[in-house]
Amino acid sequence: MSENNQKKQDGGAVIKAATFIVDKRNLFFLLLIIAIIFSAFSKGWVHVENSLSAYLPDNTETRVGLDIMEKEFVTFGMADVMVANISYPQAEEILQKLEAVPGVSGVTFDDTADHYENASALYHITFAYDEKEDACLTSLDTVKETLAGHDFYVSTTLGDTLSETIASEMQAIIVIVAILVVGILLLTSETYAEVIVLLATFLSAAIINMGTNFLFGTISFVSNSVTIVLQLALSIDYAVILCNRFKEEQETLPTREAVIVALSKAIPEISASSLTTVGGLMAMTFMQFEIGVDMGIVLIKAIILSLLSVFIIMPGLLILFSNWMEKTRHKKLIPPIPLVGKIAYRTRFVVPPIFLVLAAAAMFISNQCPYVYGYSQLTTPVQNESQIAEQMIKENFGKDNVLAMIVPGGDYEAERGLLAELEARPEIDYAMGLSNTEAMDGYMLTDKLNPRQFAELADLDYEVAEMLYAAYAANNENYAKIVNGLPTYGVPLIDMFMFLYDEVQEGYVTLDPDLQETLDDAYVQMRDGRVQMEGEHYSRILMSLNLPQEGAETFAFLDEMHTIAGQYYKDEIYLAGDSTSQYDLYKSFQRDNTVVNVVSILIVLAVLLFTFNSAGLPVLLIMVIQGSIWLNFSFPALTRSPLFFMSYLIVSSIQMGANIDYAIVISSRYMELSEQMPQREAMIETMNLSFPTIITSGSMLAIAGLLIGELTSEPAIVAIGQSLARGTLISIFLVLFILPQLLLFGDKIIRKTSFAINVALPTRSAASGFVRVDGRIHGQVSGIITGTIHGVVRGRVDAFVQSGEIKEIEAPEKKEDIEDE
């Protein structure tokens, strides 16, 4: 099949699809209403994950350690409460009130600087329930009620306050973004009614996108909070393109036919444009840090739904509002910018070398960017209640860097030796496990006591203690000790106390009331200690480091701790905590950084190669956007401002995938117009035609990023917003004031590296005499004709060629020759 015939068939298929969509618009409206109603309910089915550590790769040390702790240990709910502006006697009175709160199992407080400083008291409260139980929240509410009237601050991981806080902040941002977007659309539109069509199209896609997130089961708090804003900024272009196409076609065609033709033209154009955005987002799915996968697929789904909304819903809306669009036409408010095109032509030999030097310098500087992998060094423009509490506690009492070490269970001697060595290290404030937790009278929980020692400790008759040890030996099938060696039989203190308690509960042993009370108290403490520190296969050691949460020194010491533990355990040990999480993120970033950059460039390059059928132009466009990425992240490098690593990975992908659309708009226009007029005039006209589209889309994305970065309190989201706003503004500047010069400078190279004669862009062509026409045209053929034709015209043809070609041929000698053609 010839190329022309293939194009003719492709064009016909698109026309048929467009006609079906337009004629079945009421059916699609009905399906839309059903989908929106369903999404209103399904939105509540989405579960949001608030922890970044949950997205660590499954094989990372932190992820493995956290999984083990969840399966093997109980973590009781805890809260740090600081009460300010009180005397020490008042602090002691508050201590008694807190200890009496139902559900509070313990409160740590004393007169040291760790708990009372600057007329402020810090209480470490432990609740009697697992941190996942709602009873913890009930007790925490009672604690707050108890402290009513005092100036107090609560820092805790209990509850889902992060989701609630972010949701509240994003609602305010969405309202502001919506107002600004309406303002931008009014400014850049030609009719007021088209703004309603654009917003209705987007809102349909946004609602359905939120409602279908339940398909993923769980999404991250980052994706849940920023997707709707980014979806608007990334996809509004598609609706604008179709709307502009419709207005062009409506000048010569009835409404229905204008929508069909506009849609048939817009489908390939919008699809090609969206592929670069999807390509950049796909690069995120190659990240080891799985939040990239989460955000990538959620945003890709948002883009796809936006495309479907534009292709399926918007045509019906255009017909529905077409009369209003005619009645509400107004003067264009965005002026042409011929000066930019003129300056670009004059500076075409000066700007490109300067840009290359600037890009090279930016590449070097951005590689020095001070990335961080946790929140300890980050600040946000606004702070929520939890952040204020944490900051107040940190300023008065510092911040603990707590770490858990998970070791193979059952070897108390090895654990005791490891704990002693860890506590001797200057980097560790304290290390706590069962083997160094005191039970009573100087004995540790895991110390082995013989019957006589236990009898003295528990105030039992020796004969009763002997019988108890004999029962314990029989219960553990250690019959040799019963026959010979019971007096020297050593049993860990915690095991014997637990066994004694069980025997008393079964009625085999009876104790006097005082001894029973002592046993009950000891049992509660030992039971709580065991479920927190000892599981079926592992034991847990808790440590407090006096090192920062992240940094070369901290990461090196984490490796050293493995070496220390390896002296006592042959099996693998695991560390889990903020420092290890950030160490794992640091290691995954070294790989993700390279993979995301390479994959995003390759995917976008492939899309551009097939879009422009040229090897030189895609390289030029990617060079411009990559330069904007380097310039973007040179700012934190120069100011030495800590940058959350995730924002770089996500924003660089979005910049490469979405901002390159601005470069495509200018390049497409220039390549088309330069075939019809000199370079200077072509560039002037290109900038005049492209400026409204770029300023509309770019300003929306920049404003969305700016608001996200300035009005949220979550550091990860703040970093994404700030970097995205800065990067988009840089991209807009480069495509308006650098790209034109590069196109003019490299025009010959672009054309010499083209591997196709026919560029899939509408071109105006005129011919007379005997004219061979193959393909879809729109123009005058002894009258106006729009359609796909295949034949010879005797006369004059002056039309836009949307696919195929128009060419003059020699006059055939006979009529039969024309029919054969």
Query: Other C-beta atoms within 10 Å of 34: how many?
Result: 10
User: pLDDT category, 568, cuts 50, 70, 90?
Assistant: very high
How high is the pLDDT of residue 818? 42
How high is the pLDDT of residue 780? 56
How high is the pLDDT of residue 414? 93
Burial-class residue 760 by CB neighbours within 10 Å (0-12, 13-18, 19+): middle
How high is the pLDDT of residue 792? 65
Q: What angle do CA 751, 752, 758 make, to 5 degrees?
A: 55
Q: How many Å separate Cα 95 from the centre of its chain?
A: 42
pLDDT surpassing 80 at residue 151: yes
> Cα(428)–Cα(545) distance, rounded to whole angstroms?
5
> Cα(529)–Cα(75) distance, rounded to whole angstroms?
10
pLDDT surpassing 90 at residue 93: yes
Query: Other C-beta atoms within 10 Å of 668: how many?
Result: 20
pLDDT surpassing 60 at residue 771: no
pLDDT surpassing 60 at residue 546: yes
Query: Other C-beta atoms within 10 Å of 461: how many?
Result: 9
Query: Other C-beta atoms within 10 Å of 83: how many?
Result: 20
User: pLDDT category, 1, cuts 50, 70, 90?
Assistant: very low
> Cα(57)–Cα(287) distance, rounded to whole angstroms?
9
Mean pLDDT value of segment 661-686 = 87
> Cα(544)–Cα(423) distance, rounded to whole angstroms?
10
How high is the pLDDT of residue 796? 64
pLDDT surpassing 80 at residue 64: yes
Transcribe 254-272 into DSSP letters: -HHHHHHHHHHHHHHHHHH
Burial-class residue 781 by CB neighbours within 10 Å (0-12, 13-18, 19+): middle
pLDDT surpassing 70 at residue 656: yes
pLDDT surpassing 80 at residue 799: no
**pLDDT, greater one: 483 or 438:** 438
Cα distances from 171 to residues 226, 229, 364, 724, in angstroms, run 11, 10, 39, 19
Most confident of 495-499, 689-693, 814-818: 495-499
> Cα(654)–Cα(276) distance, rounded to whole angstroms?
10
pLDDT surpassing 90 at residue 121: yes
How high is the pLDDT of residue 529? 87
How high is the pLDDT of residue 659? 82
Q: What angle do CA 490, 491, 494 make, to 5 degrees?
A: 150
How high is the pLDDT of residue 744? 93
pLDDT surpassing 90 at residue 368: yes
pLDDT surpassing 90 at residue 102: yes
| N-terminal to C-terminal alpha carbon distance within the chain | 17
pLDDT surpassing 60 at residue 761: no
Mean pLDDT value of segment 623-646 = 94
How high is the pLDDT of residue 476? 84
**pLDDT, greater one: 485 or 557:** 557
How high is the pLDDT of residue 794? 62
Mean pLDDT value of segment 617-642 = 93
How high is the pLDDT of residue 677? 87
Beta carbons of 644 and 716 less than 8 angstroms apart: yes
User: pLDDT category, 759, cuts 50, 70, 90?
Assistant: very low
pLDDT tens, residue by residue, 446-500: 999 999 999 888 888 888 888 899 999 988 888 888 877 888 899 999 999 899 8
pLDDT tens, residue by residue, 212-228: 999 998 999 888 888 88
User: pLDDT category, 760, cuts 50, 70, 90?
Assistant: very low
- Least confident span in 17-31, 385-399, 634-648: 385-399
Query: Other C-beta atoms within 10 Å of 149: how many?
Result: 6
User: pLDDT category, 5, cuts 50, 70, 90?
Assistant: very low
pLDDT surpassing 50 at residue 682: yes
* Complete domains list, the chain, with CATH: 1-45+167-326 (1.20.1640.10), 67-159 (3.30.70.100), 334-376+573-582+598-761 (1.20.1640.10), 404-547 (no CATH), 763-820 (no CATH)
Mean pLDDT value of segment 304-324 = 93
pLDDT surpassing 50 at residue 283: yes
> Cα(417)–Cα(491) distance, rounded to whole angstroms?
19
How high is the pLDDT of residue 695? 87
pLDDT tens, residue by residue, 340-352: 999 999 999 999 9
How high is the pLDDT of residue 189? 84
Longest dimension (CA), the chain: 130
